[in-house]
Amino acid sequence: MKHIFKISSFILAIALIFSACKKVDDLPVYNNGSAVSLSSSVSAVAAQAADSNNVVVSFSWSNPNYAQDSSKYKYVLEIDSTGRGFANAFKTVFTGVYSGSLTGKQLNDGLLSLGFAFNTAYDVDVRLSSSYGNNNEKYYSNTIKMSMTPYKIPPKIPVPAALYLVGDINGWNNSPSLDTKYQFSLIDETTYAGVWCAGIFNFSGGAYKLIQELGNWGTQFHMVTGGTQNSGEFVQADADPAFPAPASGWFRVTVNFQNGTYSLTPAPARVPTPANLYIVGELNGWNNSPSLDPIYHFTNPSAFVRTLDLDITGGGIFKLIQELGNWGTQFHQVSGTPTFGEFEQRDADPAFSLPSAAGRYRIKVDFAANYYWITRI
């Protein structure tokens, strides 16, 4: 009887073991994967503002074969100027798909972030990185050569021909005799985010308004309720509230007509406008002697602006001086690029950089805003 009980217990145990076992799903299979092959629907894109919400370019790519679960495949589309090695590329992420597209607005915002000028065609490189999830091991596709042209975005508020700051800072004087130091400078509209005006002003409290025609309060811009001393929105209207001014100090006032906003940031004191200005650098052998060729002398089109039209072979660095033979009177770059930036007066580096492409350029230096521009003409 004891023997039969042992056999029964053994059979029962075996049955319990088998009944507790369930079929386990197949484990996912992971492969090393491979670089994808990338292709584009077009070779050139020149969208218009009306195309903002429309697809303007599509890309497709092959399967990298990382695993059975393709929903975790991650792709990053990169677009940058040809020859820059994708160092400053704008990127768009796609997940679990084998194709992707960009609307006119998505592409335009990206191209403008690269510093591209409106309505100008640029050669760009496009590639796609792929990985499994957030795995740091990436593969890069072939590089596609394309042409892309950003379009001009209509500003939220029409840009005036001129802009002036009037308030406690100047006794609320809006007459035609207003000192030109209260006039804004118009920054090149290729600046990212659209059309801007900027100026450096020495405030001591109170308030101010912005007008576009001296002697006429009806053309003013005023702050939208909720704005602060540092930033906010504005509209065109002959009304209050005025803009609150900082208690003291030099500030750069930036007025963005593209999106209808303003901002104030601390700034160095406005650089005095020199009577003369010269360019000295690799393009002329760093020759700052009184015998410097007149082609390197700036002209004076207005009280605060100095300009120079010059042929360059591409690349190189330079400095700006106001007295030949004297490095101590130079101006140097604070921040910026070969096309736009901020400067100050100081016998120091860094020097300014020239665009890499050869051609004829206009160098514009604005001492009312401490900005410089280098544009191809």
The 10s digit of each residue's pLDDT in 185-222 is: 777 553 323 345 567 888 999 999 999 999 998 888 98
Average pLDDT over residues 114-121: 86
Average pLDDT over residues 350-369: 87
Residue 47 lies in a domain: yes
Residue 9 lies in a domain: no
Identify whether residues 142 and 236 lie together within a single domain: no
Identify whether residues 369 and 308 lie together within a single domain: yes
CB 94 within 8 A of CB 135: no
Identify whether residues 210 and 169 lie together within a single domain: yes
- The predicted structure's pLDDT at residue 46: 95
Residue 290 lies in a domain: yes
Average pLDDT over residues 215-244: 89
| DSSP letter, residue 327 | G
176-189: pLDDT as tens digits: 988 877 888 777 55
Residue 155 lies in a domain: no
Residue 232 lies in a domain: yes
Closest C-alpha to 197, from 136, 248, 260, 240 = 260
Based on C-alpha coordinates, what's the Rg of the chain?
Answer: 31
Residue 4 lies in a domain: no
Element (H, E) at 341: strand 340-345
Query: 179 — alpha (psi -120 to 50), left (phi > 0) or beta?
Result: beta
- The predicted structure's pLDDT at residue 308: 94
- The predicted structure's pLDDT at residue 195: 40
Q: What's the rounded Cα separation, in Å, for the pair 330 and 326?
A: 8
Task: Choose the weakest-confidence range: 34-38, 98-102, 324-328, 367-371.
Answer: 367-371
- The predicted structure's pLDDT at residue 189: 58
Identify whether residues 338 and 369 lie together within a single domain: yes
User: Would the pLDDT of 257 be above 90?
Assistant: no
Beta bridge partners, 58, equal 101
Question: Is 140 in a helix, a strand, or coil?
Answer: strand
Count up the domains in the chain and report the number: 3
| pTM exceeds 0.85 | no
- The predicted structure's pLDDT at residue 193: 31
- The predicted structure's pLDDT at residue 190: 33
Question: Is 294 in a helix, a strand, or coil?
Answer: helix
CATH code for the domain in which residue 118 is found: 2.60.40.10
Identify whether residues 251 and 291 lie together within a single domain: no
CA distances 181 to 142, 200, 201, 252, 368, Å, are 53, 9, 8, 13, 7
- The predicted structure's pLDDT at residue 10: 53
Q: Which domain holds residue 284?
A: 278-376
- What is the share, in percent, of the chain residues with pLDDT greater than 70? 88
Mean model confidence pLDDT for the chain: 85
Identify whether residues 119 and 202 lie together within a single domain: no
Q: Of 218, 241, 266, which marks where a domain is finished?
A: 266
